[in-house]
Structure 1
Amino acid sequence: MLIISCSVFGCQLTIDLANLYADLPTPVVVFDQASENKASNENEKFEKSESTGAWTYADQNRPMDVNQAAVVNGLTRDHLKALALASNPSIRRIEALVSASRGRALQVGLKANPNIGFDFEQLGSDGQAEQYGVMIEQEFIRSEKLELNRCVAKQEVGRLQQMLMVQRQQVLTDVEIAFVRVLRAQKQIEVTEDLVELSKKALSVARQLLEAKEVSRADVLQAELEVQSSDILLLNAKNRHVAAWQTLSAVTGQPSLAKETLAGDLFAHTPPIDFLDVLAKIQVQSPEMGVRLAAIEQARYNLNRQRIEPLPNVTVGGLLNWRDNGIGGDADAGITVSIPLPIHDRNQGAICEAQHQLVAAQHELAQLEWQLKQRLAPVYERYRNAKEQSDRYRETILPKAAETLSLTRETYELGEVNFINLLTVQRTYAQTRLAYIESLETLRIAEAEIDGMLLSGSLELP
């Protein structure tokens, strides 16, 4: 401990530099081995969709385990995701479309209604030949047509159900990303508050040293600039927190979501991610694939439906004349049976259209597989960059920055470096901590996008 003592205008000035920086924050790195074991031992389950016949991930709506370690107190990501799934309007919209498609599936399988009417013939014959009767007519649609109508419509139900899964996953990913951004803002506020406190203490020391004629006026001005700069950083951090919280409120569908501390650990360790493993997982489990598979099945059923369209329906009609003056006023009846002759229109155009719609749906599935790889590439690049940066900060840069600050304090107390050097090193240390937090935010967001199967943007209008 170095005590600077001098006499200024007859007064004794004593400054304890060691105690001044005794509460300097040091980097804390959290490694959660249990989280890594949990992630590596997770047993993924699959289920087969009755509507599409496609195998999909059975728990696509599970909370994403991006940050396994969590603070005990505060608003949890699981709670926020539950709120979002219950309140996000995009989910309600797709649910309404699913219900509407179920109504259509019911409607297209219904039999045709009979026609009933009155028949008046030979009017104006002065009672000689008038006929008054009741007629009824029924078209009998072939049962296989109605069955295939319903199959096509049910595949549309299945496709929309997969779209609902897409929307739910988008909501979960958006909540996770917003959660991470609020966490980052919280940590940024903590670091900048530390920087502001240290800057103010340094300014106080500089003013005392100026009075003791140990430093120049320029040193005090530099210390004042450091305070102003740190105040701006703190203001920016608070504004970032407000914006991040507003985004979180929007994606959860909670406009009056009260601000409080989030229970999450930005520094939690997560296992490494391999590009090919992730790509294979997404191509199998993504509900986007389920949407395309359902579209293929729908196109296949529609082709079968169009192929049997030329098979004629039978229309049967009956007529009961309760008075036929042509035969003395007695009652009589008649029956008609008719079918269309598919001579010119054999539905050949619709069959051709359905065939190519099936081919297009199959190619769309293949296109999506390549698109997923294309979409994953930049996300994985951000993940790798952020992973390497955060690891470098945690393992090398932050410890060295902390050591540099500690050594600079010691040499400053020994009078070997000036006050400006101490301020510079102090600022560098704070900036390093902020850069580390930024790299962690980028890492967690990339992990959230990958874990969310590249699905986000739930509030974008269709």
Structure 2
Amino acid sequence: MTSGRFGSLVILLSLALGGFALRAQTAPAPLTLEQALALARTRNPSLLSGRQHVTATRASEVTAGFRQNPSFTLSGADVSLPANNPANPYSYTANVSRLFERGEKRRWRLDVARAATDVTQSQYGDTERQTILQVKQAFTNMLAAKAALKIAGDNLASYSRTVDLSKARLNAGDISATDFDRIDLQLAEFEADTNAAKLDLIQASDQLQLLLGIARSTTTFDITGTLDPPALTQTLEQMEQSALAARPDYQAAVQSVRVADASIHLADAEGTTDPTVGGEYERTATYNSAGFQISIPLRVFDRNQGEKERTRYEAQASRFAETAARNQVINDVDQAWAGYEAAVEMATRYNNHFVAEAQRVRDNLEYSYRHGGTTLLDYLDALRDYRQVNLGALTANQQVWLSIHQLSFAAATEILP
């Protein structure tokens, strides 16, 4: 009785451990595009590095806001001589002085530092925008690779059934061994397509995992999504306005103008004279005295003329750069929009006409060939046309999505609902 209970316990424990091991080996759930983007924002090393750089740049605002420190000097003379020596009495001197900045230098230093931080933040935003585009492209390419592998697998399975049928016809004496060999040789082409599609999928998966910050790629990684072309509701004019309002590289160009303007004010302020005011206390033998000092540099030659002129030219250059950046934004959106329209036109032709037509031709010729109504070459041509048309449709749909990602990148706006 006891041994029976012990055996039951061992069986239950084994089942529990087996279930735990099965759960441990279960592949993670496939990622959606939104989940992949969220993962990239939190784990991509380049983005993590960029955020730290922004934080480091912001710390320079603290340095720019510092006021001038006072100076304290303490000195003594003849301190080792007797106090009653009238010829060389000891003396102690304490001096406190401070430089006072004029021309609102601290204010303009802060303005330059804050504007520089804004530029760095916008530059990081542009880095994030480019990384997000790379993730979207890699995600779409992996979806396309999965779909291409399915097409290659379906074609291989379909043709394998033809080979099996031909084998049966060979055994029954309906076809010659040479005809069967010709049929069997074509199987290598379909197997090669399948192997190439598997390799493309592995490489696309590795590229996406790299962008997501995964140190070592894994074969259990998977994604989910569709390549069906979506419909956009925005117009070209709306895309252009969104780009001008949101493009971080254009915002950086605008902020660089503010940096240049603040630098002009700082250069003018640096040309002003900063006095140094100090107070002094002295004790000589038994006598105490106090005094003060004011030091004013005479800026006869150096009035910061070079920096004043340089910053004004730099400001003008920044304004030209802003105009160039604005023109580039509009041009990027226009080109991305043209690419989207061309991709949609091609995908529409494939999806609404060629795919269904290629499938009808393949099905009819497959049926005809299996019943002796057509030649092997005609059937193989139909299979190749079907494969090429489906791959063409897949590529067209892929290009629609890539053009949408490019348009979102150009406008710095998520244009899909």
The answer to whether residue 393 in structure 2 is matched with residue 432 in structure 1 is: no
Query: Residue 442 of structure 1: CA displacement?
Result: 2.2
Percent identity, please. 20
Gaps of 5+ in 1: 1-72, 456-462
Separation in 1 of the partners of 2:140 and 2:51?
28
Residue number in structure 2 paired with 1:263: 224
Match of 2:64 in 1: 108
Structure 1 pair 215–276 and aligned structure 2 pair: CA distance change class (3 A): farther
Cα distance, 1:228 vs structure 2:
0.8
What residue number does 1:67 align with? none
Q: Distance in 2 between matches of 1:277 and 1:213?
A: 69
- The residue correspondences of 1:310-329 to structure 2 (distance < 5 A) are 310-323=271-284, 329=286
Q: How does 1:114-153 map to 2 (within 5 A)?
A: 114-120=70-76, 127-128=87-88, 131-142=91-102, 144-153=104-113
**Hey, what's the Cα distance between the residues in 1 that align with 2:395 and 2:87?**
99
Match 1:196 to one of 135, 156, 176: 156
Aligned twin of 2:244: 283
Greater alpha carbon shift after TM alignment, 209-218 vs 397-406: 209-218
Instruction: Give, in angstroms, the shift of residue 210 of structure 1.
Output: 2.8
Moved more, 365-374 or 190-199: 365-374
Which of 309, 317, 323 aligns to 1:360? It is 317
Distance 1:425 1:163 in 2: 53
SS of the aligned residue for 2:186 comes to helix
Task: Give the alignment's TM-score, normalised by structure 2.
Answer: 0.83
**Structure 1, residues 381-439: CA drift from partner, whole Å, max 9, x if none?**
54344322211110111111112123323443554312332222123212211221122
Cα 1:378–1:233 shift into 2, 3 Å = farther
**SS state at 1:135 partner:** strand
| C-alpha contact (below 8 Å) 1:109/1:146 kept by paired residues | yes
Deviations 1:341-387 (A, max 9, x none): 22211211111111011111111111122333554566455434432
CA contact (8 A) 2:102 2:274 kept: yes
Contact 1:219/1:420 (8 A) holds in 2: no
Partner of 1:450: 407
Residue by residue over 1:89-111, the C-alpha shift from the partner in whole angstroms, topping out at 9 and shown as x without a partner, is: 22222212221222111111111
Structure 1 contact 199–223 (Cα < 8 Å) conserved: no
CA RMSD in angstroms comes to 2.5
Whole-angstrom CA distance in 1 between matches of 2:131 and 2:181? 50
- What do the CA deviations read for 1:205-246 (whole angstroms, capped 9, x no partner)? 222223344334443233223211111111111111111111
- 5 Å matches for 1:9-24? none
**Equivalent-residue separation in structure 1 for 2:103 and 2:152 (angstroms):** 73
Q: How does the TM-score come out when normalised to structure 1? A: 0.76
106 and 343 in structure 1: CA distance in 2 versus 1, 3 angstrom threshold = same
Mean Cα deviation higher: 206-215 or 117-126: 117-126
* Post-superposition offset of 1:444: 1.2
Post-superposition Cα deviations, 1:269-326, rounded to whole Å, max 9, x if no partner, equal: 3327765553443233211111111111111111111112222222111221122x5x
Change (3 A) 1:424 1:214: farther
What is the alpha-carbon distance in structure 1 between the residues aligned to residue 167 and residue 110 of structure 2?
A: 84
SS of equivalent residue, structure 1 residue 317:
strand
Displacement after TM superposition at 1:195 (Å): 0.9
Aligned AA for 2:48?
Answer: R
Correspondence for 2:261: 300
Q: Which amino acid is 1:435 matched to?
A: G
CA contact (8 A) 1:222 1:420 kept: no
Letter of the structure 2 residue corresponding to residue 138 of structure 1 = R
AA aligned opposite 2:273: P
In structure 2, how many angstroms separate the alpha carbons of the residues matched to 1:126 and 1:448?
Answer: 91
Cα distance in 1 between the residues matched to 2:207 and 2:233: 28
Cα offset, 1:126, TM superposition: 8.2
After TM superposition, give the deviation of residue 446 of structure 1 in Å. 1.9
Q: Give the CA deviation at 1:170.
A: 1.9
Distance (whole Å) between structure 2 residues aligned to residue 319 and residue 231 of structure 1: 95
Q: Which amino acid aligns with 2:117?
A: V
Following superposition, the deviation at residue 253 of structure 1 comes to 0.7
Aligned amino acid, residue 436 of structure 1:
A
1:158 equivalenced with 2:115 (yes/no): no
2:346 corresponding residue in structure 1: 389
Q: Is the Cα contact below 8 Å between 1:386 and 1:443 reproduced in 2?
A: yes
Matched pairs, number: 379
Q: Secondary structure at the match of 1:255?
A: coil
- Check the 8 A contact 2:98/2:276 in 1, yes or no: yes
Residue 422 (structure 1) aligned with residue 379 (structure 2): yes
* Alignment of 1:83 onto 2:44: no
- Note the residue ranges of structure 2 that are not aligned, 5 or more in a row: 1-28, 413-417
Q: Which AA in structure 2 matches 1:229? A: E
Tell me if the contact between 2:369 and 2:375 (Cα under 8 Å) persists in the aligned partners. yes
Structure 2 counterpart SS, 1:453: helix
Query: In structure 2, how many angstroms separate the alpha carbons of the residues matched to 1:385 and 1:216?
Result: 50
More helix by share: 2
